[in-house]
Amino acid sequence: MSSIAVGLPLAIDDINGFRMIKSIKGLAKQNLKMLLLTNPGERVMDPEFGVGISKYLFQHFTTSTYADIDAKIREQVSIYMPGIKITRIAFDSSEQDRAKLGFSIEYSLPNIGLRDLLEFTI
């Protein structure tokens, strides 16, 4: 099977040299993850790109914070990944560690009938 892109972070693979992404589903998940992790201003020639999820690391997680993150994710996906439809964003801030925020994004690629889930912790 041919490859679509190099998997990030880079990892050595005995077959291809580097770990490769071989499916649209894997590529969409990687691109969504990169959109979440990129801070606005980091991408050359497109300073508006990115959710900048790391800026929320030391925030006090409230309903307002969750709403801000949700809105930012949906806004960025609609601009930079319009082929993805976000079904649901759920937040899970554990009582044991208030310094972490877990969230999951259920999404689909309606044009090709794919559904997937990205789980993330910051």
Burial (0-12, 13-18, 19+ Cβ within 10 Å), 119: exposed
Q: pLDDT, tens digit, for every residue of 93-122?
A: 665 566 677 889 999 999 999 999 999 888
Average pLDDT for the chain = 88
What's the pTM value of the predicted model, to 2 decimals? 0.85
Task: Identify whether the C-beta of residue 78 lies closer than 8 Å to the C-beta of residue 5.
Answer: no
Kindly state the percentage of the chain with pLDDT values over 90: 55
Cα separation, 91 vs 119, in Å, equals 10
Q: pLDDT, tens digit, for every residue of 52-70?
A: 998 887 777 788 989 999 9
Q: pLDDT, tens digit, for every residue of 71-98?
A: 999 999 999 999 999 999 998 866 556 6
For the chain, which domains are there?
Answer: 24-121 (3.10.450.40)
